[in-house]
Amino acid sequence: MILELIALGIASMYFWEHIVDFFSKRIIPWVRKNVSNTAGDFLAKLISFLDGKIVPLKSLIKKGWEYFKTHFISGKTTYTKVDANNAVRTTETIIRDSENEFNRTVVEEKISWSDLPKEIREKMINENSTEGVVDEKEYITQKMEERCEEEGIQITI
């Protein structure tokens, strides 16, 4: 239920201009004519209120995605099997800051076998390997593309 509401919200944001146009040209005049001017005015104020919230949110999301694409240079997580029950997760990120400097961060942590991503566990089992790597930027971009395709949203990625 929650995912459906989120999907509806995303789709509504994508088609917001069309929704506003439809309500302005068809629904609000119909309500004013067939129900009452007061109800039509209320509906118009509601759409106007929502417009004041949705348009800045759409802009913020677009700016956030642009920021991510230009400042998150790379992210890589390497999983190394230590023994039957444990592995080490090493996450390296390179981010460009506002002064155009590159900042590299490496975080290492011990995790249990069951905390490995399913794809990494399968790779280690199938290939009898002790290491698996996830390109985080590629993974995030792929998930964003899949989600946009599911929602019918065209976004430049």
Work out the pLDDT band at 107, boundaries 50, 70, 90: very high
Cβ atoms of residues 123 and 132 within 8 Å: yes
Assess whether pLDDT exceeds 80 at residue 8: no
CA 141 to chain centre: 9
CA atoms within 13 A on the CB side of 66: 6
The pTM of the full predicted model, rounded to 2 decimals, is: 0.54
C-alpha 31, offset from chain centre: 36
Residue among 18, 13, 17, 15 at smallest CA distance from 57:
13
d(CA 21, CA 154): 20
Half-sphere exposure in the Cβ direction for 113 (13 Å, CA): 12
The domain limits of the chain are 2-68, 73-151
- Residue 153 pLDDT class (50, 70, 90 cuts): low
- The answer on pLDDT for 142 being more than 50 is yes
The residue among 66 and 42 whose pLDDT is bigger is: 42
